[in-house]
Structure 1
Amino acid sequence: MPRNLDLTSLRSFVAVAETGGVTRASGVLNLTQSAVSMQLKRLEDSVGLALLDRSGRSVALTSAGEQLLSYARRMLDLNDEAIGKMTDTAFEGDLVLGVPHDIVYPAIPQVLRRFAAEFPRIRVQLVSSFTRNLKELFARGEAHFILTTEDGCDQGGETLVRKPLVWIGAPGGSAWRERPLRLAFGNHCIFRAGAQAALDRAGVPWEMAVDTMSDRTIEATVSADLAVHAVIAGTEGPHVEVINHGGALPELTSQRINLYARPMVRSEVSDGMAGLIRQHFRMM
């Protein structure tokens, strides 16, 4: 007789794989850690294979786990699509979400994926820009939700998390040792002035290597080890790394990630989006 994979266990397995651990996965799924662990054990028993390598300090997938992950994602996507098509006819419309370029990853793709599963008839338009632009967009009533990176938080906003800025550079790079220190920042980046001021206070000479409107240009320059940049801890991209400078560069200030939400006719939709955003950013 054919055996069936349990979708609930598969959902826990995918969450652990995507978040890197049982603790974070339990937060995403709104389950206890023991419940997630039990579902993982049930899934491993059903396939008769170890799916997770628990020998290290962090959870890693075994080769069997890597193979199952691809199937699990497709099965869950198909399940969510079917449930959404068959049951959710109440919520239709458009929703505009504004997010600064530098905090789109890693949270926003997960937020959009889960929101689409819960509200498949709501079309989400993602606008990525600088905090100043997004706040102007929100003030004009052209966005339902925006996320911002700020020193403080304006009236009506909600601080989701406060994280330090960190210096980033090319993996194994040496640009951070050069003097004057070469910087790569966008013209409207709110981290720019603070980073320059911190260098001035520390007596570290600097010059602008890149002065651009394009995040891609900054990423290319930094990953090529031609300059350094600063980001909120936990949001660094795949082609750069946090610089372990040992005090050669000044410590930077902390930044808030804030959420601003506009009331919507359908409170269930608004609460759903806001809840997912809170959940994923507070895991950082």
Structure 2
Amino acid sequence: MRNLDITTLRSFVAVADSGGVTRAAGFLHLTQSAVSMQLKRLEELLGLALLDRSGRTIALTASGEQLLVYARRMVALNDEVIGRLTDQAYEGEIVLGVPHDIVYPAIPQVLKQFHAAFPRVKVQLVSSYTRALKEKFGRGECDLILTTETSVDPGAQTLCHKPLRWIGAPGGAAWRQKPLKLAFGRLCTFRPRVIEALDAANIAWDVIVETESDRTIEATVSADLAVHTMIEGTEPPHLERIEHAGALPDLAMQMINLYGAQTKKGVVHDTLADFLRRSFSSMETARLRAG
């Protein structure tokens, strides 16, 4: 009888999510050779090639894709069992700050995973703008924060790069109007760079909505009264990416950065940081494969 090892499956999932052995080893706090050996043993146990190593990044074979579905479930179930039976040692609260625009789709899954591992630990989710979150973090009001920036401060870690896209109403025409009507948050870090790009392209613009409410922006844009910008993949289903064929300027690539994880602060803190790394690193892997 052959038995799959959870530690080996965890390494396999980490490699699949991060797109490489080196990054996976960092997430798992193992050496690169240890992770490579685990993957080799897993392939030998199953008698299957799970990884295609011929490209610039490691890709999964058809068998690897199939195993990944089961491996995620087995690792998650293992963590849930351990968490349920040993959670008495871990109680309290951890504060996580996330910009409004990247809460979906990654954060709900991270919170679900974390709750399964530490059901008695409360995660206080603070959703705000990058600037405000960095101020809170500087005052010690958040344990971990994510940010969306075009650079990274010393001590932070860049989890992935995502392009900024023009967003409008499905089938809308607001992007064709002159001047271009914009809807933005008052503290939105994208706004200055978007306006700079429009000015450089000699495109007239007018901010018709300036608010602290994301719902106000979404309502205005979905009514086809203005356009907005969002990180690719975070747009809600009632809005869509504008296919402008070059009529609007390209926008800067954004970094999603993690602050507060540069030093180990205990299993609860470090586990939440690892869940965040894996979730956003899988987005980076998907972007590289698509590119």
User: Which residue is equivalent to 2:66?
Assistant: 37
The correspondence of residues 184-263 of structure 1 with structure 2, limited to 5 A, is 184-261=183-260
Distance 1:37 1:262 in 2: 32
User: Which residue is equivalent to 2:17?
Assistant: 27
- Post-superposition offset of 1:209: 1.6
Distance 1:267 1:85 in 2: 18
User: Which residue is equivalent to 1:107?
Assistant: 106
Answer whether contact 1:96 1:144 (CA < 8 A) is retained.
Answer: yes
User: Which residue is equivalent to 1:126?
Assistant: 125
The one-letter amino acid of 2:163's match is P
- Count of aligned positions: 230
User: Which residue is equivalent to 1:5?
Assistant: none
The one-letter amino acid of 1:236's match is E
- Post-superposition offset of 1:262: 5.7
Alignment of 1:135 onto 2:134: yes
Please give the per-residue CA displacement for 1:234-284, whole angstroms capped at 9, x wherever unaligned.
211111111000010011111111100167885211221111101111122
User: Which residue is equivalent to 2:57?
Assistant: none
Answer whether contact 1:24 1:283 (CA < 8 A) is retained.
Answer: no
- State, as a whole percentage, how many aligned pairs show the same letter: 57
SS of the aligned residue for 2:89 comes to: coil
Answer whether contact 2:168 2:240 (CA < 8 A) is retained.
Answer: yes
Distance 1:263 1:269, change over 3 A: farther
Please give the per-residue CA displacement for 1:149-173, whole angstroms capped at 9, x wherever unaligned.
1121111111111222110101111
The one-letter amino acid of 1:27's match is D
The one-letter amino acid of 2:208's match is A
Answer whether contact 2:96 2:145 (CA < 8 A) is retained.
Answer: yes
Greater mean deviation of Cα atoms: 102-111 or 259-268? 259-268
- Post-superposition offset of 1:203: 1.0
In structure 1, list runs of 5 or more residues that go unmatched.
Answer: 1-11, 13-22, 43-72
The correspondence of residues 158-169 of structure 1 with structure 2, limited to 5 A, is 158-169=157-168
Answer whether contact 2:181 2:227 (CA < 8 A) is retained.
Answer: yes
Distance 1:25 1:181, change over 3 A: farther
Runs of 4+ in structure 1 deviating by more than 4 angstroms, as ranges, are 23-26, 30-33, 76-83, 262-266
Distance 1:265 1:121 in 2: 21
SS of the aligned residue for 2:272 comes to: helix
- Post-superposition offset of 1:228: 0.4
Answer whether contact 2:95 2:143 (CA < 8 A) is retained.
Answer: yes
TM-score (norm 2): 0.71
Please give the per-residue CA displacement for 1:176-204, whole angstroms capped at 9, x wherever unaligned.
01111100001110101111111111111
Distance 1:144 1:264, change over 3 A: farther
CA RMSD of aligned residues (A): 2.9
Distance 1:221 1:255, change over 3 A: same
Distance 2:14 2:228 in 1: 28
SS of the aligned residue for 1:88 comes to: helix
In structure 2, list runs of 5 or more residues that go unmatched.
Answer: 1-8, 19-23, 25-38, 40-49, 51-59, 284-291
Distance 1:274 1:125 in 2: 14
User: Which residue is equivalent to 1:281?
Assistant: 280
- Post-superposition offset of 1:27: 2.7
The one-letter amino acid of 1:231's match is M
Distance 1:39 1:184, change over 3 A: closer
Distance 1:224 1:89, change over 3 A: same
SS of the aligned residue for 1:143 comes to: coil
Distance 1:79 1:257, change over 3 A: closer
